[in-house]
Amino acid sequence: MGKVLVAALVLSLTFSAQTHAEELVLTEAELCEMSSVNVPNHLEGCVSAKKTYMYCSAVTDETSDQYKFLYSGYCYTDPNGLIKYNNRYCIAIGTGYTKNIGDRVTLVLEDGSIVRCVVGALKAPVHTDSSNRYDVADGSVAEFIVDKKVFNSVKDGSGTVNFIDGMEGEIIKVVTL
């Protein structure tokens, strides 16, 4: 693709998060840095529609990048108990998508909607498939980090965050910025 085409290209993504919509316009520099990985929904063990959760309090190693990020003072809890950073959901994800805590990722769902996230923890390779893209125990791709006290007062018993508006459906792609 020529420089003129790249310079003229602006990617506009619309997402819905509960009761509001927001437009995300990416700069040329962000477009050049962006990469995407398809989710292996065709594999028997992958169940990307299952968006599991983990308690933030499970991250206890104060020397880890995960701990430093999640307890930096910049993360906060939304009304549903999900931990957020800069208006993005904090998630744990396999290293087949990214290897860096703090990376911005966007989950593209089967209906074309997106869920804006940031990597708050990395799933250990021992817990993921050989491509490190989904959890071998439950098939999930993204594990949302939650505040135990707040989340436990609103959760539905499914073991997922799928009951929250905008979380329904399979994840078909993970875009890393």
- Cβ-contact 115, 148 below 8 angstroms: no
Distances (CA, A) of 116 to 7, 24, 126, 150, 171: 24, 10, 26, 21, 12
Judge whether residue 116 has pLDDT over 60.
yes
Percent of all residues in the chain with a pLDDT value above 70, rounded to a whole number: 81
Q: Given a cut of 50, is residue 20 above it in pLDDT?
A: no
What average pLDDT does range 45-65 have in this prediction? 97
pLDDT at residue 43 greater than cutoff 60: yes
Q: Is the pLDDT of residue 106 over 90?
A: yes
Question: 2-18: per-residue pLDDT in tens?
Answer: 333 233 233 333 333 33
**Cα–Cα distance between 120 and 90 in angstroms, integer?**
5
Binned at pLDDT 50, 70 and 90, residue 110 comes out as very high
Residue with tokens 């991250």: 59
Which runs of E-coded beta strand occur in 81-156? 83-85, 88-93, 104-109, 114-122, 142-146
Whole-number pLDDT of residue 11 = 32
Pull the structure tokens for residue 11. 């990617």
Strand 75-77 versus strand 104-109 pairing type: unpaired
Q: What's residue 149's pLDDT?
A: 95
Distance CA(20)–CA(124), nearest Å, equals 34
What is the average pLDDT across 150-176?
94
| Mean pLDDT confidence for 134-145 | 97
State percent of the chain over pLDDT 90.
77
